[in-house]
Amino acid sequence: MWPSTRTFLRLSTLSLTLGLAACGSVDSRYERPVSGSNIEEINASGMSSDQLVRIASASASSGDLSLAMKLYRDASKKAPRDPTPWIGLGDTMVSARLLDQATEAYDNALNLEPASPGAKLGMARIHLMLEQAPEARALLEEVREIQPENWRIYNSLGVSEDLAKNHARAQDYYLQALDFSPRNLSVLTNYSLSLALEGNYADAISLLEDVIEEPSATARHRQNLALVYGLAGSENNAQQMARRDLSDRDVENNMDFYRFIRGMKNGSAGEFIPRQYDGGLDGQSGEESGLSEAERQEMKQAMDSYFQ
């Protein structure tokens, strides 16, 4: 019997990563990750909203999502007419997969600035995570009118077209994104996975082999390459790459899954590849943030209370 789809959905390392990452800036005074141990010091320091936002961004990038949310909320209280803290809060909630609360945060930003590109991009990311491609495209086209050279727009448009199985059009968007942000690993990964979805494994593998040689490449990039090796039937390469980050048991589970989806016909294999949208800051996704399910539920309850 083949392993269940649920089993593979739990393995974030086996995922079709369509990256929707936003970049954050780091306050030079806090180059090391800020932790909950000095939250009182931060709150008592009399920092401005802008300073709190920079530290919150650094905290989110380091995986301390709970602290980042608190700092963004504090920043919003110090600058109640500034949409920036709400956008940062929404982005962090997306990383934690708190999509309802993220939507409310973006709505707050849009109430302050109806044309806010950051809030609209955030809302588009949520639609993509829910595989609502038409809704995402409508928002992305609005943002493109304001920021025609923003690579994130074209990257996200590519994701929306891949979801609609328009892979050739998706690849055109990824190439446009690369015009504005060359060697961007998120875009290169999406481009390669789009090629894999239409069966062009040779080019997909070539791109991903270059990606994993970059200094900023992560385990997620390596496991995407293992995935494409597996889809292409190159089991030895898939196993070797997977073992760089996974246990033997997880490697064998993944190999079984690769064999299963290789057996799918008529282009339907892509429907069974788990998709994990990377909506975090600097590529930090909620699945890789170190949060347990119990911690996510606790965070969700805290956010529910906050928005009441």
Angle between helices 201-211 and 185-197 (to 10 degrees): 160
Matching residue, tokens 């996974």: 246
pLDDT band at 263 (very low <50, low <70, confident <90, very high): confident
Residue pair 282/19 in contact (Cβ under 8 Å)? The answer is: no
How far apart (Å, rounded) are the C-alpha atoms in residues 238 and 216? 21
pLDDT band at 283 (very low <50, low <70, confident <90, very high): very low
Q: Where is pLDDT greater, at 189 or 12?
A: 189
What residues are paired with 276 via a beta bridge? 17
Name the DSSP class of 266: T
- Give the least confident one: 16-20, 183-187, 227-231, 263-267: 16-20
Name the DSSP class of 98: -
Name the DSSP class of 239: H
Residue 285 pLDDT greater than 50, yes or no: no
* Cα angle: 183, vertex 189, 190; to 5 degrees: 115
Q: Which pair of tokens denotes residue 33?
A: 């990750």
Residue 200 pLDDT greater than 90, yes or no: yes
Query: Which of helix, strand or coil describes residue 125?
Result: helix
- pLDDT on residue 125: 94
pLDDT band at 34 (very low <50, low <70, confident <90, very high): very low
pLDDT band at 217 (very low <50, low <70, confident <90, very high): very high
- Give the least confident one: 248-252, 256-260, 299-303: 299-303
How far apart (Å, rounded) are the C-alpha atoms in residues 72 and 54? 9
How far apart (Å, rounded) are the C-alpha atoms in residues 291 and 121? 25
- pLDDT on residue 1: 35
When pLDDT is averaged across residues 219-224 and rounded to a whole number, the result is 92
Residue 40 pLDDT greater than 70, yes or no: no
- The per-residue pLDDT for range 127-173, each reduced to its tens digit, is 999 989 999 999 999 999 999 999 999 999 999 999 999 999 999 99
How far apart (Å, rounded) are the C-alpha atoms in residues 143 and 115? 8
What residues are paired with 244 via a beta bridge? none
What residues are paired with 16 via a beta bridge? 275
Q: Which pair of tokens denotes residue 55?
A: 């530290």
Residue pair 23/57 in contact (Cβ under 8 Å)? The answer is: no
- pLDDT on residue 257: 87
Q: Where is pLDDT greater, at 303 or 162?
A: 162
- pLDDT on residue 136: 96
Residue pair 178/191 in contact (Cβ under 8 Å)? The answer is: yes
pLDDT band at 261 (very low <50, low <70, confident <90, very high): confident
Residue 59 pLDDT greater than 60, yes or no: yes
Q: Which pair of tokens denotes residue 36?
A: 């909950």
User: What pTM, to 2 d.p., does this model score?
Assistant: 0.75
Matching residue, tokens 């788990």: 274
Q: Which residues of 283-306 are buried (b: 16+ CB within 10 A; e: fewer)?
A: bbbbbbbebeeeebeebbeebeee
When pLDDT is averaged across residues 174-195 and rounded to a whole number, the result is 95
When pLDDT is averaged across residues 83-109 and rounded to a whole number, the result is 97
How far apart (Å, rounded) are the C-alpha atoms in residues 113 and 84? 10
- pLDDT on residue 248: 94
Residue pair 69/98 in contact (Cβ under 8 Å)? The answer is: no
Burial class (CB in 10 A: 0-12, 13-18, 19+), 217: middle
Burial class (CB in 10 A: 0-12, 13-18, 19+), 213: exposed
Residue 291 pLDDT greater than 60, yes or no: no
pLDDT band at 10 (very low <50, low <70, confident <90, very high): very low
